[in-house]
């Protein structure tokens, strides 16, 4: 299965997509939420995320699947990037899915 399809399916399976008009707007994703989701995933998914962060120049550490200072700094930089800031404010799906989209942001061709 292609990476995007796998992670989209995982995101949909992990979060409710019932969006009412009151919550159909972008909500700021926090680093704590991304960390919690990252730590809940299997080692392979965590390594894939780190590899994507490294490939784009955000992560400098070892691809070990652990949340440490390097992974945290990488997500901080990603979430502050122009590319992320251009897309994240337009998201209108459930907040849990927005957190997942943040974690897997660099694996998607939709955000190029």
Q: Count the helices and strands in the chain (H runs, E runs).
A: 6, 0
Tens digits of residue pLDDT in 21-79: 444 445 689 999 999 999 999 999 999 999 999 999 999 999 999 999 999 999 999 99
State yes or no: pLDDT of 100 exceeds 50: yes
pTM value is: 0.73
Closest CA to 52 of 112, 107, 100, 111: 107
Rounded to whole angstroms, how far apart are CA atoms 66 and 59?
Answer: 12
CA distance 9 to 58: 25
Q: What is the pLDDT of residue 110?
A: 65
- Angle (CA) 66-37-111 rounded to 5° is 100
* Residue range 5-23, pLDDT digits in tens: 544 444 444 444 444 344 4
DSSP 89: G
Is the pLDDT confidence value at 108 over 50? Answer: yes
């Amino acid at each position: 299965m292609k990476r995007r399809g796998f992670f989209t399916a995982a995101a949909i399976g992990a979060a409710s997509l019932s969006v009412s008009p009151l919550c159909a707007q972008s909500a700021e994703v926090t680093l704590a939420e991304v960390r919690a989701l990252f730590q809940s995933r299997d080692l392979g998914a965590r390594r894939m995320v780190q590899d994507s962060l490294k490939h784009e120049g955000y992560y400098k550490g070892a691809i070990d699947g652990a949340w440490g200072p390097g992974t945290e700094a990488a997500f901080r930089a990603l979430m502050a990037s122009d590319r992320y800031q251009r897309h994240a404010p337009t998201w209108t799906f459930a907040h849990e899915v927005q957190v997942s989209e943040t974690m897997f942001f660099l694996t998607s061709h939709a955000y190029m």
